Amino acid sequence: MFLNRKKIVFVVIFAVLSLLAYKINFSPLLGTQNQSFTVFQFFAPATGFFLGPFLGAASVFLSQVTAFVLFGRAFSLFGIARLVPMLLAAFYFGTRKKRLVAVVPLACMALFVLHPVGRQAWFYSLYWLIPIAATLFKNRLFIKSLGSTFTAHAVGSVAFLYLIPTTPALWVALIPIVFMERMLFAAGISASFVLFNTVLSWVESRIPAHIVNVDPRYVVRLSAIR
């Protein structure tokens, strides 16, 4: 079944963890006030694998909306637009349709270059070739994580460009920061995937009923650590 009782339980647990993660800031979002990246960005994309791309993306979206309401975030068009990047990151992480996920970064590149400010820093958008190239190596966890976080980056950057006043100099200055930031996000996504995957594998071994997708390649065996 697309959605059964056990999957609903997982979605609820994920929602609770999401609310906790939203309260832990990772880094400020440059060029804005009271906007930050949070720990939520580290594990939300992996939901696309565990629940499937559509249900995973829906779970991420609902978690974000809940956090938006509960934590009294200021209502703004940019605030609403910030809900979309992680939704697409989860879809990217979970789907096997390479051509479909390549559409998003390509569209973002086009929109960035079409903007008068973005056109003067067009080379910034070359970052979004990464999620396209990553589709060739999606069986490798870190590469898939990298493609996922750069998909979110592409969508978020375009929203930022069109909704917040910026200068070409800002985008140029962000280039080295983005590299370090996204490498850390990719590492965090990979680590959280292994953690959740291991826990879910343990649950499956105790309760022999299919709850969510589990990848046996990324299960940490405690006996191997000892």
The amino acid at 68: F
pLDDT tier at 222, thresholds 50, 70, 90: low
Spatial distance between the Cα atoms of 115 and 166, rounded to a whole number of angstroms: 11
The answer, yes or no, to whether residue 3 has pLDDT greater than 60, is: no
For strands 25-28 and 36-38, give the pairing: antiparallel
Nearest Cα to 42, choosing from 152, 198, 221, 190? 190
The answer, yes or no, to whether residue 91 has pLDDT greater than 90, is: yes
* pTM for the predicted model, two decimal places: 0.85
pLDDT tier at 26, thresholds 50, 70, 90: low
The CB-side HSE value for 12 (13 A sphere, CA atoms) comes to 7
The answer, yes or no, to whether residue 55 has pLDDT greater than 60, is: yes
pLDDT at 225: 45
Question: What b/e sequence results for 175-192 when a residue is b if at least 16 CB atoms lie within 10 Å of its CB, and e otherwise?
Answer: eeebeebbebbbebbbbb
Spatial distance between the Cα atoms of 40 and 14, rounded to a whole number of angstroms: 10
167 versus 222: which is more confidently predicted?
A: 167
pLDDT at 29: 56
- Domains within the chain, CATH numbers bracketed: 5-225 (1.10.1760.20)
Q: What is the pLDDT of residues 175-215, one digit of tens each?
A: 999 998 899 899 999 998 998 888 888 877 776 656 677 88
67 versus 169: which is more confidently predicted?
A: 169
Q: Say what percent of the chain tops pLDDT 90.
A: 38
pLDDT at 5: 64
pLDDT at 30: 53
Q: Which H, E and C letters describe 102-171, residue by residue?
A: HHHHHHHHHHHHHCHHHHCCHHHHHHHHHHHHHHHHCCCHHHHHHHHHHHHHHHHHHHHHHHCCCCHHHH
Q: What is the pLDDT of residues 110-155, one digit of tens each?
A: 999 999 999 999 999 999 999 999 988 878 999 999 999 999 999 9
pLDDT at 83: 82
